[in-house]
Amino acid sequence: MKYVVLIYSNPRTWETLPAAERERVLGLHDKILGEMRERGELLRVDGLTDPTTTRTIRTRDGMPVVTDGPFGEAKEQLAGLWAIDVDSLERAIELASPITEYDVVEIRGLMDLSGYEM
């Protein structure tokens, strides 16, 4: 089953972490990514640029309007994502759980084009 793991992060938390702690957590990410690569579970991994670089586009009075910054006020912003293909949701939760010391993670299934005649 294919899932995306959406990693939400508070940039302030990361700025204030001691360097050694930051390294430890990043090392943990690398370890999990390495394990997923080795097992053939990782489809892709991406980090996002800082939330302040976000452009938000809305249609107002029939015209698209572009504003700087994210549309939400939440402290936690989308920071990166994994796309994985694993045997079960339980496996996805197991993989993502260790990286939630400072970040929040959402797991969502990917829609696909398969289907049975109903």
Q: What is residue 96's DSSP assignment?
A: H
18 binds another protein (CB under 8 A): no
Kindly tell me which residue out of 32, 42, 95, 105 binds another protein, with binding defined by CB under 8 A: 42
Q: Is 90 exposed, middle or buried (0-12, 13-18, 19+ CB in 10 A)?
A: exposed
62 binds another protein (CB under 8 A): no
118 binds another protein (CB under 8 A): yes
Part in contact with another protein (CB under 8 A); list of ranges 5-13, 24-32, 33-41, 48-56: 33-41
Comparing CB distances to another protein, the nearer of 37 and 58 is 37
Strand-pairing partners, residue 84, are 3, 42
63 binds another protein (CB under 8 A): no
Closest of 117, 104, 118, 113 to residue 2, by C-alpha: 113
Q: What is the dihedral of CA 95, 85, 44, 83, to 10 degrees?
A: -70
90 binds another protein (CB under 8 A): no
Kindly tell me which residue out of 31, 37, 58, 75 binds another protein, with binding defined by CB under 8 A: 37
